[in-house]
Amino acid sequence: MTDPDSPVDKINAARLERVTTAIQAAGIGIWEMNPIHKLVYLDDCSRVLFGGLPDGIISFEQLLTYIHLDERQKVRQAVELALTAPMGGSYEIAFRTINPETGQVRWLYSKGSAHFDRDGQPDRFLGTVQDRTPTGWAQTSRDRNETLMSEKMAEVALDNANAGYFRYSIPDDRLDYSLGFARVMTGLESHALAYQDFLDRIHPDDLLIRANAFNVAVQTGRLDYEVRIVWYDDTIHWMRARGNYLYDKSGNPYLLTGTVYDTTAEHLQREAEALLVAAFTNASVGMGFTELNGQFITVNSAFTELLGYTEEELYATTDRALTHPDDRPQHDEPIRELVAGKRQFVNLVKRYIHKDGTIRWADVNLTRITGSVDKQGRILETVRDISAEIDNQQLVATSGALFRNVTNSSPTGLWLSDEAGSLTYLNKTLVDWSGLPYESLLGAGWDNAIVEEDRLISAQIFQNAVAARAHYDVMFRLIKRDGSAMWCRAAGDPYYREDGSYAGYAGFCMDIDELVSGRSALQDSEAKFRSLIEEAPVATCLFVGRDLTIEVANEPMIEMWGKGNAVLGKPLAEAIPELEGQPFLAILDDVYTTGKTYTAQGMRADLVVNGVLGTYYFDYTYKPLCNAAGEVYAIMDMAVNVTEAVKARQELEESELFSRDIVETSPVAKVVCLGADMIIRTVNEKMQAMLGRDRSIIGMPIIDAVPELKSTLLLDRLRHVFSTGETFYQPEEKIDLIKFGRPYTGYYNYTYKALYNTAGERYGIMITATEVTDQVVARQKVEEAESSLRGAIELAELGTLQIDLKTGNLLYSDRLKYWLGLEKEEAITLRKGLRPIRKADRVIIRDYITKAVTQGKEGAFDVEYTVNATSTSRERILHAQGKAFFNEEGEAVKIIGTVQDITEQRKIQIALERLVQERTEELEATNEELAATNEELAATNEELAEANEELAKSNTGLAESNQLLTRSNQNLEQFAYIASHDLQEPLRKVQQFSSLLREQYAEVLGNSGNDLLHRMESAGSRMSMLIRDLLAFSRISTRQAQAVPVPLRHVVDYALENLAVTVEETNAQIRIAPLPTVQGDALQLGQLFQNLLANALKFSQKDRAGYRIMPQITIRAREIPTSDLPPSIKPSRQTLTYHRIEVADNGIGFDDKYVDRIFQVFQRLHNKNEYAGTGVGLAICQKVVMNHGGVITATSQPGEGATFTVYLPV
C-alpha cells in the first residue's frame, strides 16, 4: 500500500472529493465511522438504504442488527481488516440488509478507506454505500436512468483518476469495462479487446498472485490484488484491482464489479525515496541538528555510533556537555559568534568524551541555519571521527567543513518561513529552479514562481496549514528558469523556539515531475542518487547486480583506483583485476547475499594505481541497497584511504617489538638484561631451558635469578661490558648450574654485547649462549681415541693410502712411502706411485682399481703386489685392501685403503710349501724303494721318522704363520674400527664450524651462503650416519653372537620404544603375533628388528594428494621343519626345525629382482633425497642372521608392500 501522505494519494483524494459529490447526486450514501469509539454517522441516503435507521450517530453493533444475519460476520471481518494498517485501510464489500420492521431484503455495495496517524493507529474511516438489489435495477425507467447516470459519472471520475471500471457477469460470462480499464490493462483505449487479451497482459510471474486473490474472493466476496502488467509496447506497469461479488437471494454470486488503478507512479516513487533515504541514513559521517544552546534535536546513526549514546540520551544533553573540558573555552567564543550571526559556520577539531569514558577526536563543522525573522534558527552539526589520525600523529588533510552548506548542496529544495508564513530562507536549489533573484522569492514572492493555475490553491492550502499549525503538503507546477513547468511537492511542519513558542515553518520542496507524469521516474532518482555519490566528500561508488558492475563512482574513488573513468560500466573483477585472490570480492558477494552491512578499518588492499602495484590501507563500508520488494540490487561502497596512518602505526609497533622478536625468535639461547643491576627484560625459551628456569625470572636481577653464577667470573665480565661497551666472547667455558633443582655441569660458548638507545647511551646487555657440552665431551673422547688409534696403527704396522680420482694424486702414509722407496715430502701421482711396483703387478692393480670404481659394483678391492728391489733396498710383498667412494651422481671420486707388508709371511709360506714338496718327493722315493726292497725298510723307516719329524716342525711353523695371519686380520679389523672413529673427528669439526658460521655470520653470508652451509651440514650428517653404520657393521662382523635364550617379544618392544617418535608421527598400526624365544645375542637381534621396523616406517606410501598413507606393520612367527624350507634357503647351521619370522608392511615395495642387492653394503634402490639412509641397515640385518646360523630373504612387488622373512635354527 502507499503512504497516505504521498503526493499521488493527495491528488487522488482531491479527485475523490469531486467524484463524491457526483456520486451523492446519483443516490449513493455516505457514512463515516470513529474507529476508536466504534460510532457510525450515516447521511440520509445511507439510513434509507440500511432499512430506515434512526437519525444521529449510532454504534457499530447497532448498525450490524440491520444487516442480514448471514452477512454480519463477513461485514465485521471486512471492517476489522480495513482498520489494520498493514492492509492499507481499504474496504469494499457487498452484503444484504434486512428491515427489522418490514423484513425487506436489500443488496448493498459499500466501499471505503481508513486513515491512520503517524503511529499507525486508525483515526478516520469513511466510505459510500449503494443499492445493488437486482429487482431494484429494473423497477422503472427513471431508476434505470439514474443508475446508468451514476455509473457513468463514476466511470468518468475513475478515468480521470488514471483508473478504470469493470463488470463481469458470471451467468453469461460477459465482461463489460470502461476505456480507463483498457488503458490501465493494455496501454490502449479500446472496447474491441476480449477477456483473454487482458489476461495475456498480466506478467507471467504474477499470475499466481491473481489466482490466489480470486480464491480468497470466493470465500470473502471481496477481490483485492496488485500485479505487474506488460503493455503492448512491452513496458511494465503496476496495476491494482479491487472488486466485490454480488449475490442473488440464494446467496450465489452472479456479478463481479470493481475498479483497476495504475499504481506505477507510486512504485517508482517508493523506490526513489528508498534510494534517497538509504543514502542519507547510511552516511559515513555523523550529522545532527541542535538548538543554539547546543541541545540536540536530531542525529543520525553515525553520530550515535561515534559517541556511544542512544538518540534519546543525546536529546537529553548538549554538544558542549560531551566536549572535553579542556576544549570548551577555546571553542566557546567561535560558537557565540556563530549564534550571534557573526559567522555562517565554524570548523573545529575537538575531543568528545565517549560514553565508555574514552576520548574521540572529531573534525566538526557547525553551520547556522536562520532567516530574517527567525532570529533563533538551528545549528547543523557535521562530525567526522579522526581519532585514528590523531593517535598516529598523521592527521590527514581533509575538508575543513564537510557538508559546510548542506542546504545549498542538497538536491532538494529547503525553505523556512516566519510565524505568518512569509518565506525567510530558500536554498540554492530553489533559486536555481525558479531562475528568479533570491530576494524576490522571499516573503510571498515565491508564489510568483508557481504556475498561475496552481498558485491560488497552493497558497490557500499553505495558509490554512499555517493558521491551524498543522502539517503542510501540496503539489503544484513550478515555472523553471527556461520557462518550462515541472511538478513539485512541497511539505513542511511548524517548528518552535526553545521556550516552546511558535517560530514558523520549515520544509522542503521536491522535484516530482517525472513521478507525477509517470515518465522516467527511476532514471531521475538514479541521477539524484548519482549526484549524491559524486558530490560525497569521501570516496564513494555504487556496485549494481550480482556481478558488481561499477554504476557510478565519484572522483575520489576514481583517483583511489588509479585507472581513470574506463572502469565505469565494468564488473568490479574486470575493472580491477588485481582484486582476484584478495578478500574484497568474497565479502561483497556475502553482503549481496545476506543483505548485511560490512564495515572494516585499516584493511589492506594491493592495487595497481597509475600502472604501479602498491599496498594501501582503507576504512570502508559496504552498504546493501534494497528495492521495494526488499531484495538487494546494489551495494554502496564508502572508503577512506588511511594508508599513511596504518603504516605509521605499523612502524611504531615494529619498533616496539623489534628487540623482543630478535630474542624470542632466535634459534639460539638469548637473554636481555637492563641497567647496571642486570634486570632480566626478555629471555627466550632456549635460554630458559639452558638455565633450567621458567619465565618467572623476568624482572629479576640475573644474580638473583641464577645465584650459582656468583662464584664465577661471568658477573664481573657483564659489568665490564656494561661499563666499557666492549663485546666479550668466551668459548667452551665449563659452568656449574642448578637446572630445575638438579646440579648440572656443561660447557658453553657465550657472547656479551652492549645495547644502545637512539641517543647512543648503553642501557643493557644481550647475552647469547650455545651449549657445546656434547661437542666438548665428544672431542675429548675423540682425542683419547686418536691416541689409541695411533698406537693401533703403529702396533699393526700398517700403511694407508688415498687416491683422488679427479686429480690423480695419491696420498701415502710415511710407512707406505718408506716401503715404496719414496721421499716423505714427495708429491705422488698414480704413475709415480706404481713405478716401484713390479711391472706384471701394475696391470693387476690397474684392473682392480678399474673394477672398484665401476658404477654398480661394490667398489672394494683386495690385491697383493711386489715392490721391486731396484726401487728399495729390498723386495717387498704388500697386501692392499680398500674401497672406492662415489658421489651423488654415482661417480667414483676417491679410493681409501690400507697396506700391510706380508713379505715375511709369504716367504714362510713359500718355504713351507717348498719343504712340503721336498718331503713329499722324498716320501714317494722312499715308498718306491720300500716296495723294491724290504731290506731297506728299517733304514727307510728311520729316514721317514726323521722326515716326519721335520714335517711336524714345518707344520708347527705353518700354524705359527696362520696365527700371525689371524692376528694381522684382527689388527686390520681393529684398525677399521678405530679409523671409522677417527673419521668422525673432522666431521665434528666441520659441523661445529658451520654451526658457528651460521650463528655469527648469517647476515653476512646471505641466503646463498646460508644455503651452502645447510648443504654442508646435511652432507656431514649423512657421512656421520654412514660411519656409525659402518661401525655397527664392523662390530657385528667381528663379534660372535652369544648363545643365550632371548624372548623376541622383548626385543621387538625395545626396538619399538626406540622408534616411538616415528611411530607416533606416522600414526603407524603395528600388530604383533606371539613370538618365540630363540638362542642368540639380544643386542644383535635388537639391531635386526630395529632396522627392519625402521625401514617399514620409512618406506611408507603416499596417496594421490601427496599425503602419506598410515603404515600397517605385522610381525608373526611359526616353526617349520627343514623339509619346508624353500630350495634357495641354505642356513649355515643345520637343524630339524626352524623359526620362520616375518615382518610385513604396506609400503612402497620393490622389484623382486633386487632381493640379493638390497642386502649388500651401500646398495640403495632409491635416491637419498627421497628416502634418507646409508645402505648399510639391511647388510647389518644379514650379518646378524648369519651370526645366528640363519638366513634372511624378502618378497615384494612395487606398490604392494614388502615382507622380510628370517629363518633361525630352533
158, 282, 521, 530, 586 from 543: Cα distances, Å: 42, 16, 21, 12, 14
**What are the backbone dihedrals phi and psi of residue 1139, each rounded to the nearest 5 degrees, phi first?**
-85, 125
Residue ranges of alpha helices (H) inside 1039-1081 are 1048-1058, 1060-1066
Kindly state whether residue 773 falls inside one of the protein's structural domains: no
Check whether residue 69 and residue 154 sit in a common domain.
yes
Is 1019 among the domain residues?
yes
Ranking 13-22, 391-400, 555-564 by mean pLDDT, the lowest is 391-400
- More confident site: 1040 or 1159: 1159
* Paired strand residues for 1068: none
pLDDT in the model for residue 247: 83
The 10s digit of each residue's pLDDT in 363-377 is 998 988 765 445 567
What letter does residue 450 receive in the DSSP assignment?
Answer: B
Ranges 138-152, 275-289, 1151-1165: which has the least confidence: 138-152
Mean pLDDT along residues 474-499: 90
Average pLDDT over residues 797-815: 86
**Alpha-helical runs (H) found in 937-1040:** 937-1038
Q: pLDDT band at 653, cuts 50/70/90?
A: low
- According to DSSP, residue 1125 is labeled S
Count CB-CB contacts under 10 A for residue 1039: 13
- Whether 1138 shows a pLDDT value over 70: the answer reads yes
pLDDT for 230 equals 94
| Average pLDDT over the chain, rounded to an integer | 81
Check which CATH number belongs to the domain holding 109 and give it: 3.30.450.20
> Would you say residue 789 lies in a domain?
no
Residue 848 banded pLDDT, cuts 50, 70, 90: confident
For cell 526513489, name the residue: 272
Cβ atoms within 10 Å of 1045's Cβ, excluding its own? 9
C-alpha cell read off for 38: 466504534
Return all residues near 728 (Cβ < 8 A) that are at least 6 apart. Answer: 717, 720, 721, 751, 752
Roughly what angle, to the nearest 10 degrees, separates helices 937-1038 and 773-796? 170
DSSP assignment letter at 713: S
What local confidence, expressed as pLDDT, does residue 851 receive?
86
pLDDT of residue 395: 41
pLDDT for the residue 406: 62
Predicted confidence band of residue 958 (pLDDT cuts 50, 70, 90): low
Backbone angles phi, psi at 85, to 5 degrees: -55, -45
Q: Give the C-alpha separation, 1115 to 1092, whole Å.
A: 10
1051 shares a domain with 1119: yes
Q: Which region holds residue 1004: left if phi is over 0, alpha if psi is between -120 and 50, else beta?
A: alpha
Confidence class for position 137, pLDDT limits 50, 70, 90:
very low
Same structural domain for residues 919 and 1002?
Answer: yes
Name the domain count of the chain. Answer: 8
pLDDT at 289: 84
How far apart are alpha carbons 1209 and 1187 in whole angstroms?
11
Query: What one-character DSSP code corresponds to residue 1098?
Result: H
- Do both 485 and 496 map to the same domain? yes
Can you tell me whether residue 89 is helix, strand or coil? coil
Which of 1037, 1063, 1092 terminates a domain? The answer is 1037
Taking the C-alpha atoms of residue 502 and residue 1022, their distance in angstroms, rounded to an integer, is: 97
Strands 828-829 and 809-812: antiparallel
Kindly report which listed range (159-173, 291-305, 652-666) carries the lowest average pLDDT score. 652-666
Residue 579 in contact with residue 573, Cβ under 8 Å?
A: yes
Cβ–Cβ < 8 Å for 1188, 1141? no
Query: What's the CA gap between 721 and 704, in Å, rounded?
Result: 19
Asked if residue 771 belongs to a domain, the reply is no
Exposed, middle or buried, 765 (CB in 10 Å: 0-12/13-18/19+)?
A: buried
| pLDDT above 50 for 102 | yes
Question: Which of the four pLDDT bands, split at 50, 70 and 90, describes residue 1078?
Answer: very high
For residue 975, the SS3 value is: helix
Digit-coded pLDDT (tens) for 238-247: 999 999 888 8
Query: If pLDDT is split at 50, 70 and 90, which confidence band does 8 have?
Result: very low
User: What cell was used for 527?
Assistant: 541521477
- Give 1027's pLDDT tier (boundaries 50, 70, 90): low
Which of the listed residues 1003, 1037, 1071 is the one where a domain comes to its end?
Answer: 1037
User: 1068 and 1171 share a domain?
Assistant: yes
Cell of 169: 457477469
Q: Is residue 655 part of a domain?
A: no
Cα Rg of the chain, angstroms: 55
In a domain, 236, yes or no: yes
**CA–CA separation, 1076 and 1098 (whole Å):** 26
Q: Are 892 and 871 in contact (CB under 8 A)?
A: no
b/e map 613-627, b = 16+ CB within 10 Å: eeebbbbbbbbbbee
Q: Which of 855, 882, 901 is the last residue of a domain?
A: 901
On the 0-12 / 13-18 / 19+ scale of CB atoms within 10 A, 561 is buried
Whether 842 and 918 map to the same domain: the answer is no
Q: Which cell numbers in the block locate residue 24?
A: 451523492
Does position 869 have pLDDT exceeding 80, yes or no? Answer: no
pLDDT value at 959 more than 80: no
Q: What percent of the chain has pLDDT over 70?
A: 78
What was the pLDDT predicted at 934? Answer: 59
Residue 464 above 90 pLDDT?
Answer: yes
Judged against a pLDDT cut of 60, whether residue 5 lies above it is answered with no
Is a pLDDT exceeding 60 seen at residue 229?
yes
365 neighbors 402 (Cβ within 8 angstroms): yes
Give the residue with greater pLDDT, 1018 vs 676.
Answer: 676
Which one of 108-112, 501-505, 625-629 scores highest in mean pLDDT? 501-505
Number of residues written out for the chain: 1210
Q: Quick one: 471 and 393 in the same domain?
A: yes
- 1155, 1197 contact by CB (below 8 A): no
The crossing angle, in degrees rounded to 10, of helices 1082-1098 and 1177-1187 is 150
Minimal CA–CA distance to 407: which of 541, 289, 552?
A: 289
Distance between CA atoms of residues 307 and 352, nearest Å:
7
Q: What is the pLDDT of residue 340?
A: 85
Q: How far is residue 546 from each of residues 205, 573, 589, 595, measured CA to CA in Å?
A: 21, 11, 7, 12
Residue 698: its pLDDT value, please? 92
Q: Give the pLDDT of residue 238.
A: 92
Answer yes or no: do 240 and 113 share one domain: no
Asked if residue 7 lies in contact with residue 475, where contact means CB atoms within 8 angstroms, the answer is: yes
Judged against a pLDDT cut of 70, whether residue 927 lies above it is answered with no
Q: Is the separation of the CB atoms in 868 and 837 below 8 Å? A: yes
Q: What is the pLDDT of residue 1098?
A: 86
Question: Residues 558-581: what's their mean pLDDT?
Answer: 91
- Residues 23, 86, single domain; the answer is yes
- Residues contacting 850, CB < 8 A, separation 6+: none
Q: Is the pLDDT of residue 1207 over 90?
A: yes
Is it the case that residue 556 has pLDDT exceeding 70?
yes
Average pLDDT over residues 3-29: 51
Q: Does residue 839 share a domain with residue 944?
A: no
- Give yes or no for residue 1024 having a pLDDT over 70: no
Q: Is residue 510 located within the same domain as residue 580? A: no
**What is the model's pLDDT at position 965?**
47
255 three-class SS:
strand
- Going by pLDDT thresholds of 50, 70 and 90, the confidence category of residue 401 is very low
- Domain assignment present for residue 774? The answer is no
Top mean pLDDT of 147-151, 764-768, 1099-1103 is at 764-768
839 grid coordinates = 711391472
- Tell me, yes or no, whether 731 and 752 share the same domain: yes
- CA 120 distance to own-chain centroid: 47
User: Strands 1112-1121 and 1069-1072, how do they pair?
Assistant: parallel
Task: Report how far apart, in Å, the C-alpha atoms of 498 and of each of 379, 475, 495 are.
Answer: 13, 31, 10
The answer to whether 298 and 288 have CB atoms below 8 angstroms apart is yes
650 vs 969, residue with greater confidence: 650
Residue 448 within a domain = yes
We report the CATH number of the domain holding residue 1129 as 3.30.565.10
- Condensed to tens digits (0 to 9), the pLDDT of residues 66-99 reads 898 888 898 998 888 888 755 556 788 888 888 8
Domain boundaries, position 1087:
1040-1209
Give the pLDDT band (50/70/90) at residue 522: low
